[in-house]
Amino acid sequence: MNGKNILLAVSGGIAVYKAVALTSKLTQAGANVKVMMTRHAQEFVPPLSFQVLSRNDVYTDTFDEKDSGVVAHINLADWADLVLVAPATANMIGKMANGIADDMVTTTLLATEAPVWVAPAMNVHMMNHPAVVRNITQLYKDGVRFIEPDEGYLACGYVGRGRLEEPEKIVAHIRRFFSEDNKSLLGKNVLVTAGPTREKIDPVRYLTNRSTGKMGFQVAEQAYLKGAHVTLVTTVKDRPIPDAVETVYVDSAEEMYQAVTTRAEKQDAFVMTAAVADYTPLHVADQKIKKQPGDTALEMTRTKDILAEIGARKKARQVVIGFAAETENVAENAKRKLETKQADYIVANDVSKDGAGFGTDTNIVTFYGADGSVEDFPLLEKREVAEKITAKIVEKLG
């Protein structure tokens, strides 16, 4: 979104406060933001809030020409790479659908040739009213894109559909829109596993490993930006991801196995970056285990191999990519995993090398393909590795 000009049109509903956060998130994402407000929007939040966060003048009146050298609404309409109407009230949607231009916002909306996105926010009954449904249908036909409202508690006391989508999610939609290659995985379902599993010993202890989930989160983001519907199955709760990615939080290897296998059928591709425990305590103590004199041992049992299970079930249309975290004999181990897990690719990395493996922002990987191909890559940002992995998916899915 860096350097993109986004014109935010704010109409008058209680969700205007969220448009303030949205302005901040858009500018943080690198966009140039200009805001225009209807008269009623200003009843909720003064223009000054938007002016400070966007670091630009706020436009409220068609006849308040700030620069005599240009006609404000035409200039703004031409400046925009994208116009975002958020929140869009039923009244605003009605005016847009009927080409009414009776204030700064609606006049500019008629004058722009930029793509227009609308994020509605209103009471659930208003949302379902035939007139509103009719207007939304008309706008769809006119090429306007919608960011569907969320379900939840509405300011009017009702619970239902009509709440303005969260600012983070709106930003994610727009980022994807501006991403250069946002169609190569359009309509495809990609499942990614990420992070270390946690195997419970007792209520206060567990076994885990040094994985942080960075690689998997990057893969999820890249697949999302390429247009895929992404399901991220992860143990990592404190790392931001595009909110439009469907996230399933799990803890143990068994939970991850269940989460993946129950969602496997509809997937087109799997990328298994998670560091899954190979063993789990045979018994989980109900109470904290108290120390005893002398040494002790923990009896462990094997977990299920999620990647191997997915590889065994793999349909011809599905692509399966696994990782191999190694500290020695990288090529040999990766090729063995490629075979035993029946993957299309194994992305191998020597986690003992500087700049590779757990917790770093970079990785040094080699792709081993079931077709016998071997591709070595230099030190790359994990984002770049994720880019290469998703490019492989695009290539395999044709």
Count Cβ atoms within 10 A of the Cβ of residue 76 and give its class: 0-12 exposed, 13-18 middle, 19 or more buried.
buried
Give the binding-site size for ligand CTP (rule: CB under 6 A): 16
Phi-psi region of 227 (alpha: psi -120 to 50; beta: other; left: phi over 0): left
Subset of residues 314 to 333 that bind ligand CTP, contact rule: CB under 6 A: 322-325
Count Cβ atoms within 10 A of the Cβ of residue 348 and give its class: 0-12 exposed, 13-18 middle, 19 or more buried.
buried
3-state helix, strand, coil in the chain (%, to 5): 35, 25, 40
Q: Is 202 annotated as a binding residue?
A: no
Helix (H) or strand (E) holding 345: strand 345-350
Cβ neighbours of residue 80 under 8 Å, at least 6 residues apart?
5, 6, 7, 34, 112, 114
Count Cβ atoms within 10 A of the Cβ of residue 266 and give its class: 0-12 exposed, 13-18 middle, 19 or more buried.
exposed
| Among residues 165, 199, 305, 350, the one that binds ligand CTP under rule CB under 6 A | 305
Tell me how far apart the alpha carbons of residues 168 and 156 are, in angstroms, rounded to a whole number: 23
From 112-120, 130-138, 303-311, 384-392, span contacting ligand CTP (CB under 6 A): 303-311
To ligand CTP, the closest distance from the beta carbon of 315 in angstroms equals: 18
Task: Give 242-264 as a DSSP string.
Answer: -TTSEEEE--SHHHHHHHHHTT-
Q: Which CB sits closer to ligand CTP, 122 or 236?
A: 236
CA angle at 391 for the pair 385 and 397, rounded to the nearest 5°: 140
Q: Is 323 annotated as a binding residue?
A: yes
Q: Is 377 annotated as a binding residue?
A: no
- Of residues 52, 70, 133, 156, which has the active-site annotation? 156
The answer to the question of residue 306 lying near ligand CTP (CB under 6 A) is yes
Subset of residues 265 to 284 that bind ligand CTP, contact rule: CB under 6 A: 272, 274-276, 278
Q: Is 288 annotated as a binding residue?
A: yes
Tell me how far apart the alpha carbons of residues 338 and 183 are, in angstroms, rounded to a whole number: 29
- The tokens for 323 are 């990782």
To ligand CTP, the closest distance from the beta carbon of 325 in angstroms equals: 4
The answer to the question of residue 368 lying near ligand CTP (CB under 6 A) is no
Tell me how far apart the alpha carbons of residues 385 and 363 are, in angstroms, rounded to a whole number: 7
Q: Which CB sits closer to ligand CTP, 23 or 193?
A: 193
Cis peptide before 196 (omega within 30 of 0): no
The answer to the question of residue 85 lying near ligand CTP (CB under 6 A) is no
Subset of residues 19 to 78 that bind ligand CTP, contact rule: CB under 6 A: none
The answer to the question of residue 351 lying near ligand CTP (CB under 6 A) is no
Q: Which CB sits closer to ligand CTP, 117 or 368?
A: 368
Subset of residues 187 to 246 that bind ligand CTP, contact rule: CB under 6 A: 193
164 a catalytic residue: no
Q: Which CB sits closer to ligand CTP, 98 or 327?
A: 327
Residues marked as catalytic? 156
Annotated binding site for CTP: 278, 288, 323, 337, 341
Binding interface with ligand CTP (CB under 6 A): 193, 253, 272, 274-276, 278, 303, 305-307, 322-325, 337
Annotated binding site: 278, 288, 323, 337, 341
